[in-house]
Amino acid sequence: MQLGGKTILLTGGTDGIGLRLARQLRAKGASVTVTGRTPARIAAAEEEGFAVIPADLTGPEGVEAVVAALGTRPIDILVNNAGMGAAHDFRIAPPLAEDDEHTLWLNLHAPIRLIAALMPVLRARKEAMIVNVTSGLAIAPNAGSPVYCATKAALRSYTQALRGQLKGTGIHVLEALPPVVDTAMTAARSGSKLSPEECARQIVSAMERGKDEANVGMVKVLQAVHSLSPALARSILLRF
């Protein structure tokens, strides 16, 4: 898809991968509106010239706020990027139900609700795209973050089914699967991390090439291992 001239809604676009996506998409000539929920980050994104919709997508009110703010504005591309993880490891401490609910909403319910709400707008465009950002952990889960893994695996399944529904229409469906990326969410983790700039670059490239999946960085290796032996891929990641 030619990104120049396209109108894009990008959730979670004031930090991390989302902010880098917003910058790179704008550099391609797209008009990018982002959502965010932290006042300081919203202000910083506005200073960069981005249109920002303040919305907390960890509950239904945030989705309603985004849809209301868009009004009848045309959207060519919806990028469901916003996501979070919750501490849910019984080896360390009992999980907090509120954190789990927020993760379920932000990672799964919000993308589905936004797609449903914006489908008529996307169908009205000559060509359109939905980009759902999942994770390499949607392929095989680790042991330390089961709720995060479950939401991303569910969104992956939804994305694949949605692609089947929209086959033959003007709406292309892309799933982006990042590895561990150097963002605020992974700050406490050690080990190798992909830069958010490079992650965004690979996703934008996949958008331009009309790919169904963007296996980013080391996710290419995970996908190859999983294709040969799903059990082996699971056994490797469940060590973490």
Residues noted as catalytic: 148
Give the chain's length.
240
115: enclosing H helix or E strand: helix 110-123
Q: CA 160, 163, 168 angle in degrees (round to 5)?
A: 155
Asked if 104 and 188 count as a contact pair (C-beta separation under 8 A), the reply is no
The structure tokens listed for 45 are 């994104």
Q: Are 134 and 156 within 8 A, CB to CB?
A: yes
Residues with Cβ within 8 Å of residue 56, at least 6 apart in sequence: 37, 62
SS3 146: helix
Contacts of 230 (CB under 8 A, 6+ apart): 140
